[in-house]
Each structure stands twice: as C-alpha cells, then as structure tokens.
Amino acid sequence: MTRDDLAVIVAEKINLNKNEAKQVVDAILRSIREGLVRDRRLEIRGLGVFEVRARAPRQGRIISTGEKVSIPAHKMPVFVPGKILKRLVNT
C-alpha cells in the first residue's frame, strides 16, 4: 500500500476529498518522523511502538568481492507491533 492508497482509504472513511486526506496522511507521517527524531519513541495503542535503537559497530563483508568492511555504529528506526495488530495479522 502506498501513501496515495492510504489517502484514498482515509478520504472514503471520513468523507474528505483526496487532497484533504493526503494532507492528513502526510501530517501524521511527518509527526511520526518528528517524534522519532525528538523523543526516540512513539507508542500508538492498538498498533505498536516506533522507536530508535542504537546499532553497535560491526564487521561486514562485500558479497561480490568477499572484502571485509567496517560498519560504524548508527541509529535505526524500528517498529514493534502490539498484541492487537499481531493477532489481527495472524487470523
């Protein structure tokens, strides 16, 4: 599903035109991004938790050449689904 597909669904569910729904979807996604940058954790009950986790430095390998490379420490956004979402996906 794309952002445009999501906007169409939102438009149908809450009786907005597509451009208004697209603005709503964009505002929500922008708020999630800003929340992760600022607070590092965002919990949406019934959906799950978005958070930023630190990854330690490690050794990697270039598959085509076999050459070892050093991968520096970095932060990675992750999503952990909640119980309700897990149950819905698995039914």
pLDDT category of residue 57 using cuts at 50, 70 and 90: very high
pLDDT at 79: 96
Residue 73 DSSP one-character state: P
**What's the predicted TM-score (pTM) here?**
0.74
Summarised one tens digit per residue, pLDDT across range 1-28 is 999 999 999 999 999 999 999 999 999 9
For residue 29, the model assigns a pLDDT of 94
Number of domains the chain contains: 1
Alpha carbon distance 53, 76 (integer Å): 5
| Domain with 34 in it | 3-89
Q: Which amino acid is at 63?
A: I
For 8-89, strand residue ranges (E) read 41-44, 48-55, 58-61, 68-71, 74-81
The torsion angles phi and psi of 82, rounded to 5 degrees, stand at -80, 175
The domain spanning residue 80 has which CATH number? 4.10.520.10
pLDDT in tens, 62-84: 999 999 999 999 999 999 999 99
Q: Which of 52, 46, 43, 44 is nearest to 75 (CA)?
A: 52
